[in-house]
Amino acid sequence: MYTLRLLGSAVLDGPDGPVAGRAALRQRLAFLALLAVEHPRPLSRDSLVASLWPESDTGDARHLLRDSLYLLRSALGDDAVLSTGDDLRLNPARLTCDLWEFEAALERGDPGSAVGLYHGPFLDGFHLSDAEEFEHWADGHRSRLTRRYGEALEHLAERDMKEGNSLRAAEWWSRRAGADPFNSRIALRYMEALETAGDRAGALRHASAHSDLLRRELNAAPEREVLAFAERLRLESRPASDPGPPLAPAPSRAASPRPVAPISKSSRRRWLLPGAIGGAALVGLSIAWGSLSHARSPALAPQRVAAAPFENRTGRRDLDDLGAMAADWIIRGLLETPMVDPANLEAVYA
């Protein structure tokens, strides 16, 4: 049994591996592809000639057709291509095709099997010079099959989402977005699935990648729904605005060095910093820290040191949290400085 693979790169496989030689050249593979798409209906010789050799006169084209038919029958068996008068068709007892299996799986309501058979667009990267009719034909079927593949992926994603398997649904939407990366509707559904699966950062990354792709390739912006959803995720990713509990009092100076509790992202303490935020603020805090560290007077009045989240001016959305993290690092350093008593620090939440 021979297998003709048309979903992805065109390949003709035999019992011992891929068929080589003149029978596997592009013109012969195109010949088989035309017959495979029409299966089980036959295709007339005139139709084959018009698609494969449109620039040749009738006599030369007929000769090329006979030559191709002879080479294929020699390699695959005399009964691989059946003749009925002027019509030709493939013999499914001698040769099968992944395209037939793909469409049969869809017809019986088995999108999972269909998706497993789809290894790429129909005749991916396959072209015939001087055969414009064949190119138009291939483009039409490529679009049709890509659409059916996308519908199968969406069916699987919706099914898994209803069953509560949001992680698996996100995987299907990922494949769907890969097949149609410019489609904002698909990008939004993928983002929604990622958020439901608990991967909010992944949803924001995809929003950024989709936006960059549209701007770079089409000089366009995503649909408003994509932008609005991404903005909502960014807002919800920020720390809560409620005050929360104050810092615990410091232990006795005679006690062993105090541990510093980790500052979680959900309850990250923000400190109010008057003036500009940015590099100048960091320098100012360093000076203040140094002054406090070198102070020796026991009568030193309680000091209030503030650290606010730093502003991200890089234009990269994935660095938005870095400013808040920098504020956390400064707070940790202040708490670990022996001359700074946390009891004299007032927590202010932003």
Instruction: Give DSSP secondary structure letters for 106-142.
Output: HHTT-HHHHHHH--SSBTTT---TT-HHHHHHHHHHH
pLDDT of residue 213: 94
End-of-domain residue from the set 187, 217, 237: 237
Residues of the chain with pLDDT > 70, as a percent, come to: 68
Judge whether 97 lies within some domain. yes
Band (pLDDT 50/70/90 cuts) for residue 66 is: very high
Look up the domain containing 321 and give its range: 242-350
Asked, for residue 155, whether it belongs to a domain, the answer is no
- Give the pLDDT band of residue 12 (cuts 50, 70, 90): very high
Kindly state the average pLDDT of the residues 13-26: 89
Give how many domains the chain has, as a whole number. 3
Q: From CA 123, how far away is CA 37, in angstroms rounded?
A: 12
pLDDT at 230 over 80: yes
Q: Are residues 231 and 248 in the same domain?
A: no
Residue 249 lies inside a defined structural domain of this protein: yes
216 and 274, same domain (yes or no): no
56 burial level (CB within 10 Å; 0-12, 13-18, 19+): middle
**Length in residues, the chain:** 350
Residues 251 and 337 in one domain: yes
Same domain for 301 and 205? no
pLDDT of residue 238: 67
At residue 303, does pLDDT exceed 50?
Answer: yes
**Looking at the predicted structure, is the pLDDT value of residue 317 above 90?**
no
pLDDT category of residue 261 using cuts at 50, 70 and 90: very low
- Residue 138 tokens read as 């291939």
Question: What pLDDT does residue 105 have?
Answer: 97
Confidence of residue 308 (pLDDT cuts 50, 70, 90): low
Please say which residue of 78, 98, 116 terminates a domain: 116
Does 274 lie in the same domain as 229? no
Q: How confident is the model at residue 248 (pLDDT cuts 50, 70, 90)?
A: very low
| Summary mean pLDDT of the chain | 79
Q: Is the pLDDT of residue 5 over 60?
A: yes
Whether residue 270 is contained in a domain is answered as: yes
Residue 260: the pLDDT is: 39
First CA to last CA across the chain, in angstroms? Answer: 71
Model confidence at 184: pLDDT above 70: yes
In a domain, 143, yes or no: no
Are 293 and 331 in the same domain? Answer: yes
Q: So what's the pLDDT on residue 55? A: 84
Residues 226 and 251 in one domain: no
Q: Is 161 exposed, middle or buried (0-12, 13-18, 19+ CB in 10 A)?
A: buried
Are 347 and 286 in a shared domain?
yes
Same domain, yes or no, for 247 and 231?
A: no
Label residue 237 by pLDDT band (50, 70, 90). Answer: confident
Check whether residue 229 and residue 271 sit in a common domain.
Answer: no
Q: Is residue 24 a part of any domain in this protein?
A: yes
Mean pLDDT computed over 150-158: 96
Q: Which of 116, 136, 159 is the last residue in one of the domains? A: 116
Same domain, 329 and 233: no
Q: How far apart are CA 47 and CA 87, in angstroms?
A: 9
131 within domain boundaries: no
- Secondary structure (3-state) at 44: strand
Rounded Cα distance between 192 and 181, Å, is: 16
CA 86 to chain centre: 48
The pLDDT value recorded for residue 59 is 87
Residue 163, domain member (yes or no): no
From the number of C-beta atoms within 10 Å of its C-beta (0-12, 13-18, 19+), residue 94 rates as middle
Q: Does 257 share its domain with 221? A: no
